[in-house]
Structure 1
Amino acid sequence: MFDQHTRSLLPDAELSRRQFVLTSLAAGFALAAQPISAQTIVTDTAGLTTAEVSIPAADIAFPAYLARPEKGTRFPVVIVIQEIFGVHEHIKDICRRLAKVGYLALAPELFARQGDVSKLETIGDIISKVVSKVPDAQVLSDLTTCVAYAAKTGYGDIKRLAVTGFCWGGRMTWLFAAHEPRVKAAAAWYGSLVANPRNNPDFKPDPLRPTFPIDIAPTLRTPVLGLYGGKDQGIPLETVEQMRAALAKGRSGSKIIVYPDAPHGFHADYRASYRREDAQAAWKAMLAWFKQHGAA
């Protein structure tokens, strides 16, 4: 359940009280992500050290996946923020891809307090039963805890800190870049930008998600690269243009690339939404962005 390091930090009473909390990562892919595409990329662990780790926060210890080069020390750090499907095999593979090019990549399970999405069979259940109950403040706090954890491993150089995230994690990438001043560069993949993208007259603000990327754009200081699809049905292009205009009011140097024919989730190689050429181009753009801004 808890590793020895985490156990040493928690009183016995606290250990027994927290047994219900998700303490391990999903194996394979989330049920709601099925069926899995034949195009799915599998990155091997040759030359890498990979592990499921337990990260102690103030109230719980939450699991995370860590990948880094096997040899060497003081690697630049990338915090990888999950999709709504949690830290399943695709997110782990992204960490291994980053480790292959020299990063210590760390993907925390940010839904640990609210539930295990890997066992839920529909996206609707994931959103209603888990994701809708996750406060932004909790996520930002856990991500900051991950930065400290990466430094304490003795292998991570948080002076070269980057963050990237996908879909749900794309929105949180924008917010964490604004929240954590140590982030040198960020790459947000098709994360929502405004609270009410379809201008629904019945829209009600969510107190757990009070801020959206467009709200922080004018005061953002960290350079964020936004990677979006021109045929994303959930993120209208007009909201992308609104975000660009808001960013232009600030001094972060952030920019957004739109891949005209790409749908939402175009990087998710395990799903039908995958667009190989756009995904590869965006991945190269992300790595170049990190290098350009001192996170490599």
Structure 2
Amino acid sequence: MKLKILGSAAGGGFPQWNCNCPNCDGIRRGTIKAQARTQSSLAISVNGDDWLLINASPDILAQIRNNPSLQPARTVRDTGIAAVLVTDAQIDHVTGLLMLRERSTPLPLYTTESVFRDLSTGFPITSILSHYCGVEHRAIPLDGSAMQIDILPGVSITAIPLRSKAPPYSPNRQAPTQGDNIGLFIKNTQSDASVFYAPGLGQPEPHVIAAMNRASTVLVDGTLWHDDEMIQLGLSAKTSQDMGHLALHGAGGMIDVLNGLDTRSPPTRKVLVHINNTNPVLREDSVERASLVANGIEVATDGMTFEL
């Protein structure tokens, strides 16, 4: 099973187009040691030609250009993206669906029922695509049963409901329902290697910790360093929790969660994804990055690949 991180940044990417925070200004000027990143997305394949896209970011066209394996060029019109699964209905995870409209057949789209409602009403992407390639909806079960996807033989995918935030345009924004946001437990049934993937995680509930403990690799939300990071920088009045993300630093933060995982042999690989442009861990020589290294935690980059 091949797993490729197409985009490792949070919504807006890094640098964000309209942001002049120290990170964004510094990378534009070349005064900080950091790498640019596109918005959060992942791709999985077994044969290297047919890929399941997990979350379709607004940067999908650039991500396809940067990852030639997603364009195998077997015919005049071709794509390696055989199906798409989205973990929520947030703009940075679904807008890229519009860029896939030139398909000649309906796009297989895996979502929970609540996410599909949001994509049919508050942000009616499915209605728009009905005038182009169309969508073939496939519901993601939330009962703990594993899905088998035909393009990924030998791979099982189980949805892990998360407590986070539905998009602002969702009727569930202030009244969350199960399925608004999910993590994924992805397992190679032949090698027994597994991945827990959750780019949006607000609260580490017991069933979430249990899934993380079972995984050999954890790709998890690293959006903000401080809960009030955006407030400190004068960029927002919202905390990390307000936005549905667990901050990295502080008591009970993501670093503590990752450090609390059961000891495995070999040890669990811990990688942060969905990094906001303001997060100091983007600076490769920062104190915060050094703290992650000391705790055995990596920061994802675009193009990072895993063989499981």
In the superposition, the TM-score normalised over structure 2's length comes to: 0.38
Structure with greater contact order relative to length (CA < 8 Å, sep ≥ 6): 2
From the two aligned structures, give the one with the greater helix fraction: 1
In the superposition, the TM-score normalised over structure 1's length comes to: 0.39
